[in-house]
Amino acid sequence: MKRVITFGTFDVFHVGHLRILERARAFGNYLIVGVSTDDLNVSKKSRAPIYPQDERVAIVEALKCVDEIFYEESLALKRYYLTQYRADVLVMGDDWTGRFDEFRDICEVAYLPRTPSISTTAVIERVRR
Ligand code: C2G
């Protein structure tokens, strides 16, 4: 059993989110996802998500590739989450490259290329226009 963990807000869920979760799951055979709380998102991005945390969790939790979810409440708790959920691998998109290298002492860390040409911000902008 290889346990994979990843984190994200997954706001206005799109195919880039789906692809990273599928690729993360392919790193092992059990995928745990830390979904950022609304409060954490405000502190990370200075705005509230469009979809509230319970709806974001409901969407991510329903995916075939996701085995377990929890609320990510703080970026500072990363080491605690990795230990608590006994992660063998941490997978993140390459917008986070280098940011989690300090955890290589307790698990494998992999950064995967983002899906091009799609983001929550781009979707919001398109809807606005
Ligand atoms: N992603 C991707 N391709 C895109 C857009 C996003 O692969 N076109 C990936 C990101 O790289 C990330 C995941 O999807 O790994 C979730 O993205 P966000 O919801 O933007 O996550 P973020 O708010 O950056 O939260 O502890 C880390 C964080 O909480 C990450």
Identify which of 4, 5, 6, 7 to mutate to test ligand 1's pocket (most ligand atoms within 8 A of the CB). 7
Entry pTM = 0.97
The pLDDT score that the predictor gives to residue 23 is 98
The pLDDT score that the predictor gives to residue 30 is 98
Which pLDDT tens digit goes with each residue over 3-19? Answer: 999 999 999 999 999 99
The pLDDT score that the predictor gives to residue 10 is 98
Categorize the per-residue pLDDT at 80 as very low, low, confident or very high, splitting at 50, 70 and 90: very high
Task: With beta carbons less than 8 A apart as the criterion, state whether 9 and 41 touch.
Answer: yes
Facing residues of 91 across strands? 110
Q: How far, in Å, CA of 104 to CA of 107, rounded?
A: 5
CA of 65: how far to CAs of 11, 73, 75, 106, in Å? 18, 23, 24, 24
| Average of per-residue pLDDT across 64-90 | 98
Cβ of 49 less than 6 Å from ligand 1 = no
